[in-house]
């Protein structure tokens, strides 16, 4: 694969991280297409559009469209310009999707160059462990989801998550579970057991399904109950909704 390889992207923009362990940090979001799952709550465009959306100015919320595929050099030129324009403002790249680990071979080429600009934060659904050995040396932070059947509408994925945690446990890793009104104590305990088996020190984020405008439908009493339940197995447990929906940012 050539150094200046190209691929279809969904979008590239600068915004605040709205969820997980790096909540509130400003990142450059690089969104890749495609996903191996179909979670019931997902509202992210997963198919590669005919043209990629690129923010016109970092944080403006205004976009222009450019032809696909997009080259690595173009992404780097934009990111370097944004970092020069706003020195010190960005914490990292957020490599997100969809599911970015579907693009493992591409990321093996892209990430070393991106890391020359900013650290790399990988957001993943935690099921594609085969891609990890190639990429673990190239990422600085991993945000992994554990998918609960009640909130995703999917069959249980416990074994896929276990394999992922076995490989990623030594990385700078945080785990997120999305909970909703149908979430059960039993499935949350299974998720906590998986994390504890890998490393009880891995931070665990309990994220209630958050509607547009920041509305959380799960009762505070249930969230407090789940936090206490998880804290009996995992040392660091936080409850964090999707704050970017509250702030109205991308």
To the question of whether residue 243 is assigned a binding role by annotation, the answer is no
Those residues whose C-beta lies under 8 Å from the C-beta of residue 238, and which sit 6 or more positions away, are 203, 204, 205, 206, 227
To the question of whether residue 192 is assigned a binding role by annotation, the answer is no
To the question of whether residue 98 is assigned a binding role by annotation, the answer is yes
To the question of whether residue 16 is assigned a binding role by annotation, the answer is yes
Q: Helix H segments across the chain? A: 72-85, 104-115, 132-135, 149-152, 158-168, 185-199, 220-231, 243-247
DSSP state of 49: P
Tokens of 80: 């370097």
To the question of whether residue 18 is assigned a binding role by annotation, the answer is yes
Tokens of 38: 């179909």
**For the chain, first and last CA: distance in Å?**
32
To the question of whether residue 27 is assigned a binding role by annotation, the answer is no
To the question of whether residue 17 is assigned a binding role by annotation, the answer is yes
To the question of whether residue 41 is assigned a binding role by annotation, the answer is yes
Annotated binding site for S-adenosyl-L-methionine: 41-43, 98
Annotated binding site: 16-18, 31, 35, 39, 41-44, 96, 98
Annotated binding site for substrate: 16-18, 31, 96
Annotated binding site for [4Fe-4S] cluster: 35, 39, 42
Annotated binding site for Mg(2+): 44
């Amino acid at each position: 694969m050539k150094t200046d390889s190209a691929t279809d992207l969904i979008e590239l923009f600068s915004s605040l991280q709205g969820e997980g362990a790096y909540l509130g940090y400003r990142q450059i979001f690089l969104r890749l297409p495609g996903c191996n799952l179909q979670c019931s709550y997902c509202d992210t465009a997963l198919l590669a559009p005919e043209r990629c959306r690129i923010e016109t100015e970092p944080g403006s919320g205004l976009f222009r469209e450019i032809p696909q595929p997009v080259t690595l050099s173009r992404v780097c030129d934009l990111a370097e310009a944004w970092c020069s324009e706003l020195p010190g403002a960005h914490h990292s790249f957020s490599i997100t999707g969809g599911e970015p680990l579907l693009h493992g071979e591409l990321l093996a080429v892209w990430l070393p160059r991106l890391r020359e600009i900013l650290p790399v934060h990988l957001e993943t659904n935690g099921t594609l462990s085969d891609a990890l050995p190639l990429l673990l040396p190239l990422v600085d932070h991993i945000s992994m989801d554990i998918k609960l059947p009640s909130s995703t509408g999917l069959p249980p994925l416990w074994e896929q998550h276990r394999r992922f945690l076995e490989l990623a446990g030594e990385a700078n890793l945080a785990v997120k579970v999305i909970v909703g009104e149908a979430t059960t104590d039993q499935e949350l305990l299974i998720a906590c057991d998986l994390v504890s088996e890998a490393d009880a020190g891995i931070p665990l984020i309990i994220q209630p399904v958050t509607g547009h405008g920041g509305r959380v439908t799960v009762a505070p009493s249930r969230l407090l109950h789940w936090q206490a339940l998880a804290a009996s197995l995992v040392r660091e447990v936080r409850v964090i909704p999707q704050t970017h929906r509250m702030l109205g940012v991308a």
